[in-house]
Chains A and B, each alone.
Chain A
Amino acid sequence: MQRPDMSVAVAGIKMRNPVMTASGTFGYGAEFADYLDLESIGAMISKGLSLKPKAGNPTPRIVETPGGMLNAIGLQNVGIDAFIEQKLPYLKNVNTPVIVNLYGNTLEEYGEVAARLDGLSGVAGIEVNISCPNVKQGGIVFGTDPGAAQEVVRLVKKNTSKPMIVKLSPNVTDVVLMAKACADAGADALSLINTLTGMAIDLERRRPVLANVTGGLSGPAIKPVALRMVWQVARAVKLPLIGIGGIMNGRDALEFMLAGATAVQVGTASFLDPSAAQRIAGEMEQYLVDHKIDSVSSLIGALEV
């Protein structure tokens, strides 16, 4: 049998396979070059970038929980200009689409960051983060109020000609409502989910473990929630979806595709296994071979209920 066709396209971004690396878990790419072949994965998503460099939160910023971890990094990043100058030239030489994850502290900032990226070669698309639970202004406000989300999405859309993915928060009562709002405002694709707000307590000190008190939960512990949300949104919205949340192996990834995702992102798994994204793509391909399936895209939304 021929090798199965692993390629997919999300909002016009063509990828050799559906496995992308999730924002904030893969640095700016180069950090992982010793551990996997960057040209073996579908796409890379950068750490969330803002207009100015951002220092992030006080420490401790991470803590492990059963089957997951909480983080309150606070979107520490080098800022858009330093990214363009220092990080992008390296990424341009890698034959894999680079998608820039961005956020703003204000509505205007979202627009400004998007504008700076427009027309830049080497940036295949943008992913707008309206869902970070770890910053006071911005982030979460835009991700939980459909009206505010629409404003951001409309403004960014006006300022970019690149494919625009909007990344949704799970910290809402009705994710479908948010997904529809973003779709109506012009999103080209949706990625879901970002981390779930959580907390850990140190019983000896009777204090929260994280300096920020709360943090974002990621890892295998959140996979069932993420799957459910992808499935719900897939039935309500026509846009391509990117499934994220606790994907550790090829089977996890394929479950997201059955639920309706066109592609997936691997986050926390890269911390345990820096070659995770490459391994997962390989495991997906092996599943197709074992089940005599010619093309991975035939599985998108193929869940029987």
Chain B
Amino acid sequence: MQFKSMVVSNVELSPNYFRMRMTAPQELLASAPGQFLMLKVTDAIDPLLRRPFGLFDVGTFTAEYAGCGAQTYCEILYKVVGKGTKLLAALHHGDVVDLLAPLGRGFDLGPAGEEKVLVGGGVGLAPLYYLAKALVERGEKVRLFAGGRNRDDILCITEFERLGVETYVATDDGTLGESGFVTQVLERHLNKGMRIFACGPTPMLDAVAKMSARHEVPCQVSMEAYMACGVGACLGCVMKGANHTEATPDYRCVCKDGPVFDSFDLQWS
């Protein structure tokens, strides 16, 4: 779907990290965790392309104006890294943006009863919150392993805890939780019968994918790539599939075949 959406709120959670709520058509309630949106930050031609963001939350709220019924919203959690996100951070309540959503393939929640393990680094937590909500709604036991460089990178932990998710935190500099990589913490807790869902920087996903293979635990990863169209038309966002070789190339489209992949379907370093 392509639609205009009104910014409801845009709040700085910690230095350079923002959470933005936007109105959305009701159909977005049928989106799957792990799907993403493409946002046109400005009508001007610079920046030219839309920016992709994972769905952090989707739901309904009742606006404060008299006579308004329930309104569907979607939220993104984003980090200011460049031109587009800088402009995004300057948006206010009432501003209008143009969205394409929901895009791509989301997480496969897997069979009920297994323990669900979420692993996120930095803004990689974004799609995991929507996922945690869906899993908790199904009555699943969910654990979250959140990592970052320092405490400012660890976002929305209380939101996860409010859902009843057991959380583990690690930071490189030890300013919050354990000191070190979140993957080290994860490895101590990994057992068969679990299912991993991971999103974050590629080196982290690489480590998680290898660990899941070692422990024979199924693992899905949400990937990032530079995107132009977001709908599978430009072939700009591809990444190497598991069977890729120079002679027999195997490229997967992150926007259309992903962004969530089974970790076995991709080629790791």
Give the nearest-CB partner of B239 in chain A. A59
B residues within 8 A CB of A271?
49-50, 228-230, 233-234
Q: Is A69 an interface residue (CB 8 A)?
A: yes
Report whether over half of chain B's contact residues are helix, strand or loop; otherwise say mixed.
loop
Question: Of the candidates A24, A32, A60, A69, which one forms a contact with B48 in the assembled complex, judged by CB atoms under 8 Å apart?
Answer: A69
Binary per-residue interface labels of chain A (64-86) against chain B in the complex, 1 for a CB within 8 Å, 0 otherwise: 10111101010010000000000
The answer to whether A25 and B234 have CB atoms under 8 Å apart is yes
Taking residues whose C-beta sits less than 8 angstroms from the other chain, chain B's interface range is 20 to 34
Give the nearest-CB partner of B233 in chain A. A27
**How far, in whole Å, are A73 and B1 apart by their CA atoms in the complex?**
26
Cβ < 8 Å to A, chain B residues 223-241: 225-239
Q: With A59-B239, A274-B100 in contact, is A35–B2 under 8 Å at CB?
A: yes
The answer to whether B49 and A61 have CB atoms under 8 Å apart is no
Cβ < 8 Å to A, chain B residues 212-269: 225-239, 249-251
Question: Of the candidates B48, B235, B238, B251, which one forms a contact with A272 in the assembled complex, judged by CB atoms under 8 Å apart?
Answer: B48
Taking residues whose C-beta sits less than 8 angstroms from the other chain, chain A's interface range is 20 to 34
A residues within 8 A CB of B235?
47, 56, 61, 73, 76
The answer to whether B228 and A67 have CB atoms under 8 Å apart is no
**How far, in whole Å, are A278 and B40 apart by their CA atoms in the complex?**
18
The answer to whether B233 and A25 have CB atoms under 8 Å apart is yes
**How far, in whole Å, are A297 and B237 apart by their CA atoms in the complex?**
39
Give the nearest-CB partner of B256 in chain A. A31
**How far, in whole Å, are A66 and B50 apart by their CA atoms in the complex?**
14
B residues within 8 A CB of A303?
none
Question: Of the candidates B47, B100, B232, B236, which one forms a contact with A62 in the assembled complex, judged by CB atoms under 8 Å apart?
Answer: B236
A residues within 8 A CB of B30?
none
Binary per-residue interface labels of chain A (258-271) against chain B in the complex, 1 for a CB within 8 Å, 0 otherwise: 00000000001011
Residues on B facing A (Cβ under 8 Å)? 1-2, 40, 45-50, 98, 100, 225-239, 249-251
- In the assembled complex, 30 residue pairs joining A and B whose CB atoms fall closer than 8 Å, in A order, are A26-B233, A27-B231, A31-B229, A31-B231, A31-B232, A35-B100, A55-B250, A61-B226, A62-B234, A64-B47, A64-B49, A66-B46, A69-B48, A71-B228, A71-B234, A71-B236, A73-B235, A73-B236, A76-B235, A219-B45, A220-B48, A248-B45, A268-B48, A268-B228, A270-B229, A270-B233, A271-B233, A272-B48, A272-B49, A274-B231
